[in-house]
Homo-oligomer: A and B are copies of this chain.
Amino acid sequence: MFFHIKELQYHAKPDCPDPVFARRLQEVLGGQFGEITVAMQYLFQGWNVRGDGKYKDLLMDTATEELAHVEMLATMIARLLENAPMETLEQAMGDPVVAAIIGGSNPQHAIVTGLGAAPSDSNGYPWNGKYIAASGNLLADFRMNLTAESQGRLQVSRLYQMTNDRGVRDMLSWLLARDTMHQNQWIAAIRELEEKEGVIVPSTFPKECEIQAVSHVLYNFSRGDASACGPWAQGTAPDGGTFQYVAHPEPLAPAPQLPPAPPYVFDTPPHVLRDQNPGPHQPPMA
């Protein structure tokens, strides 16, 4: 169960409205790696944990904080949109700033949300449930969490460079710090799980059921061998095996030949496929 308090976790007030930046900021609210993603991801991971204890608690702590970040961003976007109507083309005459607003703002901020935030990204593509992972395997999921916090902090860093507004930068510097913490915490949790379980997910699948001869082989499928020089092509692998490099990979199975389709699916009939004459339009091949 949740409770809401009306105060914000941190400030979310720009010095000035800026509808162009409002559009851009939507990316870290409702984009692939935005705050809705991490909030929902941690919630579903927490609810799906089969067992109790510190991992579940950590997930719920962080999920609940991310809801506060969604709130801060939604608030900031609404403020950036203050008094921001959609200008007409005429109004652009002689004024590049108006021209930039016409092009750089999101028309749905005016037409659809009435100067408010939306659960979508900087191009107006809606947030969706396929952005998240909650697999029941915490090591797999914490890697997704670390990814999301890494991609998210990267995006916030880029946004920080795209504004000079002190209020906006103040809020972003909060989010950057929290993303630093969240990267740190997921790395720490991943390390603990890897020490308990090993590094390969899932750890409990019996090794003899995979073809171990190729579990540590780098195949060179791209002309040139620059990839042979990395720590992934020789020496001890993270799971204790030994990396190998195969410079000229060969196929191990013949070219597939699918049998004809049964007539009741109305695929191209076998005789048409078989009849390999070039057809009446064309001279026979030399």
Nearest B residue to A47 via CB reads B74
B219 touches A44 (CB 8 A): no
A234 to B284, CA, bound (A): 9
A8 touches B136 (CB 8 A): no
A226 touches B53 (CB 8 A): yes
B279 touches A51 (CB 8 A): no
Number of copies: 6
A88 to B24, CA, bound (A): 11
Nearest B residue to A202 via CB reads B266
* Least Cβ–Cβ distance between A258 and chain B, in angstroms: 4
Evaluate whether A279 and B222 lie within 8 angstroms (CB atoms) in the complex, with A20-B89, A262-B85 already known: no
B74 touches A279 (CB 8 A): no
A86 touches B24 (CB 8 A): yes
20 A–B contacts from the bound complex (CB under 8 Å): A1-B68, A2-B67, A3-B3, A3-B222, A3-B223, A44-B118, A50-B273, A57-B222, A58-B232, A85-B161, A88-B162, A89-B97, A153-B201, A154-B201, A161-B264, A178-B214, A184-B216, A188-B231, A191-B238, A202-B267
Evaluate whether A281 and B2 lie within 8 angstroms (CB atoms) in the complex, with A157-B202, A192-B230, A263-B204 already known: no
* Least Cβ–Cβ distance between A76 and chain B, in angstroms: 9
Count of A interface residues, CB-CB < 8 Å: 219
- List, in ascending order, chain B residues with CB within 8 A of A70's CB: 43
Among the listed B52, B54, B124, B232, which residue makes an inter-chain contact with A230, where contact means beta carbons less than 8 Å apart?
Answer: B54
- List, in ascending order, chain B residues with CB within 8 A of A31's CB: 108, 111-112
- List, in ascending order, chain B residues with CB within 8 A of A68's CB: 1-2, 221
A88 to B163, CA, bound (A): 6
A234 touches B285 (CB 8 A): yes
B253 touches A44 (CB 8 A): no
* Least Cβ–Cβ distance between A49 and chain B, in angstroms: 7
B202 touches A54 (CB 8 A): no
